[in-house]
Every structure is written in C-alpha cells, then in structure tokens.
Amino acid sequence: MKKNIWIFNHYATNMYFDNGGRHYWFAKYLKQADYNPVIFCANTLHGFDKSVDTNEQLYIEKRDNLDRIPFVFVKTPQYKKNGISRINNMLSFYFHLFKVAKSFQKEHGKPDIILASSVHPLTLVAGIQIARKLNIPCICEVRDLWPESIVAYGRLKEGSLLSKLLYKGEKWIYKNAAALIFTMEGGKDYIKDKKWDRKNGGRIDLGKVYYINNGIDLTAALENKKLYPYKNEHFDHIKGRKIIYTGSIREVNDIGLILDAAKLLHDCDITFCIFGDGEEREKLERRVTKEQIDHVIFFGKVDKKYIPDIVSKAALLLLLYAKEISDVAKYGMSQNKLFDYLASGQPIVSNLPNRYSIINKYDCGIEKGIPTAELLAGQIRDMIQDEKNMYRWGENSKSTAKAFSFEEHTKKLITIIEKTS
C-alpha cells in the first residue's frame, strides 16, 4: 500500500483556486502514482481580501478541485499587507496546525511522512514537531532562504540579535529535518558557506540534501493554451514583434528599465507588452503617457490560464530584476515565470547572472549582468536580429521545460520519500 503524505504549505490556498501550483502538481502526480496526498494550508488567500469559509470550525476539508486533491484549510485571521496582522496570521497557522493535525489524524489515520514547505520557517518547525509526535519523518522544503533573503534586501541588519536568532533557528530546522529539498540548486553550497555541514565541523549531513526546482505541469499548460486563447483587441492588432514580460510589477522587478530600453528602440518594429500588477504599475503607466513611449503597453493582470497562449506569441521574453536582488540569487533562483517562459518555446533574456543559471546552462537565451538601459536595448536588438540563435534558444527552451515538468519532479520526490521513510 502506498504512503499517506501530508503536505504543509501555509500559502497553498491559491493553488486550490488555480487548480495548479507546486504542491497541487506534486499532489496530482503523487495521486497518479497511488500515493495519498493531503495539502494543509491557511483558509486566508495571500494577497487577496477573501478566505475559505470554515463554518466557524478550526478547519474544513475540501476536494472539489479539478483533480480531486484534498485540501485542509486551517482557520487564520485576515491580513492585507506585511506587518503585525501578517505575523499574527503566521503564528495562528503555526499554533492551529497542531490541533488540526491531531483532529485530522483521529478521523483519517496517521500519515507516513510530512512534507513541510516554507516560505516562512514556522511551517517547517511545525512539520518537524508534529512528525516527532507521530514518530514519522519530516521532509523540509526550502523555497526561500530565511533570514538570508531579508538580510540581502536590507530589511534586517546582518549581525543583529534578531538575525542571529533566525539563523540559529534555520540551522535547527536543517539539522532536525529527515531530508531537505531546496528549490535553488545551490542549497548544499549555502550550507557549506555557513559551515553548518559535517565536513566544516557542523552537524548537517549533506547526504540528506536534495534539489527540486520549481517547474511546470506541461499537460495543463498545453491544455490551457488550446482551451483559453487570450483575446484582446490591442494585443491582437500589434504589428511587428512582441517583447513580453509577465509577473509582478514591483520595485524589485525593475520594469522601469524596460521603459528606458524601449525609448532607445523606437526605430525597431517591436512592442513591449507588460502583463501583471503591483505597486509600481500606476507610476510606470503615467511615465508611458507622459514620455509618449507608444510601443510599451500595460495589459494588467490576467488569469493564469491565459499565460501559455500569451507567452507563445512573444518573439522574446523578459526576466528582469533590480541589482539589489543579486545577493539573493547567489545560490540559484526558482521563479515560476521562468518555467512558463520555457514551456512557450521562446528565447529569454535576463539580467540576473548566477552560477546556477538555468537559461545559460541549457542555452535558452542570454542571462548576464545588464545594468543599464543602453546595454539592455543593445542585447534585445542583437538577439532579435540573430535568427539562427533565436531558433536554437527557442528549441532549447522547449526541451528544458520537459526536464522541469512536474511529472519528472514528482518522480524525484517519490525517490526522496521512499529513501527517507
């Protein structure tokens, strides 16, 4: 009999509504392999002022999604932005998870293994502690380096008392997890650099450290491309080539650099199409109007089901970040949009070089330091004029997407589960 697997992810709530996302796809393919996954998440929806009604109970189970995957929604208080209310939401999920696990176990039986996933570390702590109570292993999945990332962003001072406590907690998680899965390829190097591994006198066994990046459900992507073509009059009537960006429009995404580069490419037959939303969008749209950058169009946020069709229409896809994120990228990146881009079979240009670059490793475009608008404009101009390499990059993107499909990722996860339990 195949194993019962509990998956803890505070922010998996949106996956229930989207019928997709990392743990949804893991669960989908685990089910197909005759495992029994259950996803535990908050009932509040991150980034939205809505939640799943738990009928005044501590949790509610639902499985009325496309693939009949069971979701357990843990009651947590609403929050809007980062601050005290969000911290309260995190703490609530952490403490409630113990009661929910106890109650759910009584009703459905004991799991064989727990997969606890960050972003924040409290979910990993809960996973380890609950697994100990149940005398089962807990695999901890690290999707963000806490506190490394918040130190890199300047939100926490390195060497401060709080940062020392958070690093100590991080090391405790890595030591006590039965196995570790990093979504960034440099996870082992991160542990070595911290001197937490046994070879450097630490207590973490690198033999239990694995790597499974984010990826894409290619079956769903192909179905969505066929079933949900994006219909927009402005988009459909664009003449010439489309240079496309999809995703968040925040300061860290440096969309202003696209506008600066676009002004230098006014003589090219291209249009920059920007899909997404964020706190920088209105300001940038005002810039486009004021500076008359006619070949840049903001299309706003679109449902994820339209993304496969949208990105397939690109001549070139943009993956850009502000310079400040370079320290965070040191150990590799796991952006969801990268895999949407790869599945489109189109070339990619990125300004975030790192030693674990998927774009460069698999030759899917160009990823290097591009700090100025002049350099970005020149890179775009050179690429779109290079038809031979554009074709090669596009074909490589397609084949790389297959290697990062969740069908393949789940095979790796099953190997780790069987080895760990």
- Alpha carbon distance 349, 320 (integer Å): 8
Residue 56, Ramachandran bin (φ over 0: left; ψ between -120 and 50: alpha; else beta):
left
Nearest CA to 300 out of 290, 310, 312, 315 is that of 310
The two tokens of residue 118 are 């960050």
Residues 359 and 382 in one domain: yes
**Sequence-ordered list of residues with C-beta below 8 angstroms from that of 377, at least 6 positions apart, any chain:** 261, 262, 264, 265
Phi first, then psi: give them for residue 58, nearest 5 degrees. -70, -25
Question: What is the domain extent for residue 315?
Answer: 218-403
The whole-number pLDDT of residue 324 equals 64
Residues 294 and 415 in one domain: no
The whole-number pLDDT of residue 156 equals 82
- Alpha carbon distance 45, 14 (integer Å): 6
Residues 198 and 226 in one domain: no
Pseudo-torsion of CA 115, 121, 123, 128, nearest 10°? 60
Give the pLDDT means over successive 10-residue stretches in the chain (421 positions).
92 94 98 97 87 95 95 93 87 97 96 95 97 98 89 81 92 98 96 96 97 97 96 94 96 94 95 96 97 96 95 97 77 93 97 92 95 96 96 98 97 98 88
Question: Per the structure, how many domains does the chain have?
Answer: 2
- In DSSP notation, 161-221 reads HHHHHHHHHHHHHHHH-SEEEESSTTHHHHHHHTT-BGGGT-SB-GGGEEE----B-HHHH
Pseudo-torsion of CA 161, 166, 172, 173, nearest 10°? 180
Residues 183 and 254 in one domain: no
Residues 231 and 345 in one domain: yes
Residues 58 and 190 in one domain: yes
Give the Cβ contact number of residue 154 at 10 Å.
Answer: 10
Residues 139 and 243 in one domain: no
Is pTM beyond 0.85? Reply is: yes
Token pair 């230098």 in the structure block, residue: 264
Residues 144 and 244 in one domain: no
For residue 395, what is the domain's CATH number? Answer: 3.40.50.2000
- Alpha carbon distance 146, 150 (integer Å): 7
Residues 373 and 288 in one domain: yes
Residues 382 and 251 in one domain: yes
- Cα–Cα separations (whole angstroms), residue 191 to 206, 373, 404: 8, 36, 24
- Alpha carbon distance 91, 33 (integer Å): 34
* Helix (H) or strand (E) segment spanning residue 274: strand 270-275
**Sequence-ordered list of residues with C-beta below 8 angstroms from that of 220, at least 6 positions apart, any chain:** 19, 20, 25
Task: Answer for the pair 401, 216: CB distance below 8 angstroms, yes or no.
Answer: yes
Residues 127 and 268 in one domain: no
- Alpha carbon distance 96, 94 (integer Å): 6
SS3 280: coil
Residues 337 and 222 in one domain: yes
